[in-house]
């Protein structure tokens, strides 16, 4: 049995690390396709290196581009791979352009698709991720859901066949890698940070980075937070901070790294300590030792919960509603005062923790379902 796995962005590398190990342990052949959606070393190479994921069998090297250009290039590359591999399954993760391209290419070639993290919905179709995940779900034969909410979302759309509640494979990753992170990461020492003295922030979603009003409002909120705000910055956010007044398309022009970094820092409040994007192990340590996390990332919302850190989500909705219901996550959108109020609210009274998104072993369940479904199909 052969599986073609399509990945392209940091969270997908984390999920694939565990599922790829489970595929190998089950004796299944995997062909790993990296679309190149995240293409610089801090966003891509370091993840493969430190997570122990073998080098991709294929790297499409798609890189930067509009949604249409990026997805089209991925479709062409994915199709070429799938025509040559004679795979039994195509496995996709999450909700990126890589997810959509992999699922669509496979569906058009009549290859069964399995979707890890199926059924998530923000109910905001202005988000490209929402469109990607809806399409991927409806192309899939095997829908591997992280939560009961995801199962219900699919049922509301008439999708019940092939739907399984497996839990969240990112919890597997936290359990598996947290010990290694504690042993190997020196990020707090490098940044001269003491545990629980700083807030950690990430901003990468287009709804925040590509809207100057939202981005300025978020930065204004950071300025009102007590203590330092450590800000691992996404390339898209750098692009918008540097090009906000230039109306230019494409990534920032190649300039001296040092002077460019100075220009980025000038755009940020004085208490914001901007750093380049870090690897997964360093990020786990920054998360675990933060007193508060502010983010528009879905994965970091969950990691904050698992690591016992209060979270403020810089979006108007979240797919991970269970963390909000549990009282450890507050939705604040991009309004300055809402964010400041949310910081006070979630820091004051985090509620007792509940077990969310199963209890580990998710990668093995995903692979077991691939095997059993294939046997039944034959």
Q: Among 204, 234, 257, 289, which one carries the catalytic annotation? A: 204
Dihedral pair phi/psi, residue 167, rounded to 5°: 100, -175
Q: How far apart are CA 75 and CA 63, in angstroms?
A: 14
**CA proximity to 127, closest of 312, 325, 316:** 316
Largest CA distance in the chain: 62
Question: Quick check: is 115 catalytic?
Answer: no
- Catalytic residue positions, numbered: 204
């Amino acid at each position: 049995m052969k599986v073609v796995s399509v990945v392209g962005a940091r969270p997908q590398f984390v999920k694939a690390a565990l599922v790829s190990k489970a595929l190998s342990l089950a004796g299944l052949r995997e062909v790993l396709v990296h679309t190149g959606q995240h293409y610089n070393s801090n966003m891509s190479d370091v993840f493969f290196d430190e997570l122990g994921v073998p080098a991709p069998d294929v790297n499409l090297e798609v890189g930067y581009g509009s949604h249409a250009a990026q997805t089209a290039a991925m479709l062409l590359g994915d199709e070429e791979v799938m025509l040559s591999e004679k795979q039994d399954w195509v496995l996709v993760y999450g909700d990126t352009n890589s997810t959509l391209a992999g699922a669509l290419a496979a569906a058009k070639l009549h290859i069964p698709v399995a979707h890890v993290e199926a059924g998530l919905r923000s109910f905001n179709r202005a988000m490209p991720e929402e469109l990607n995940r809806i399409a991927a779900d409806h192309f899939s034969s095997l829908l591997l859901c992280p939560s009961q909410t995801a199962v219900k979302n699919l049922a509301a759309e008439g999708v019940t066949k092939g739907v399984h509640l497996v839990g969240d494979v990112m919890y597997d990753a936290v359990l598996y890698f947290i010990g290694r992170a504690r042993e190997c990461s020196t990020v707090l020492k490098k940044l001269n940070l003491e545990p629980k003295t700083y807030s950690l922030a990430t901003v990468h979603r287009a709804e925040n980075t590509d809207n100057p009003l939202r981005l300025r409002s978020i930065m204004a909120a950071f300025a009102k937070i007590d203590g330092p705000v450590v800000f691992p910055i996404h390339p898209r956010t750098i692009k918008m901070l540097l090009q906000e007044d230039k109306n230019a398309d494409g990534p920032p022009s190649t300039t001296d790294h040092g002077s460019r970094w100075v220009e980025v820092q000038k755009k940020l409040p004085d208490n914001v300590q901007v750093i380049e994007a870090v690897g997964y192990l360093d990020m786990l340590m920054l998360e675990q030792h933060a007193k508060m996390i502010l983010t528009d990332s879905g994965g970091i919302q969950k990691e904050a919960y698992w690591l016992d850190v209060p979270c403020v989500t810089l979006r108007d909705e979240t797919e991970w509603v269970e963390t909000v219901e549990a009282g450890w996550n507050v939705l604040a959108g991009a309004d300055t005062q809402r964010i400041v109020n949310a910081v006070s609210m979630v820091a004051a009274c985090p509620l007792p923790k509940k077990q969310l998104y199963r209890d580990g072993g998710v990668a093995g369940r995903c692979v077991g379902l691939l095997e059993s479904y294939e046997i039944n199909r034959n």
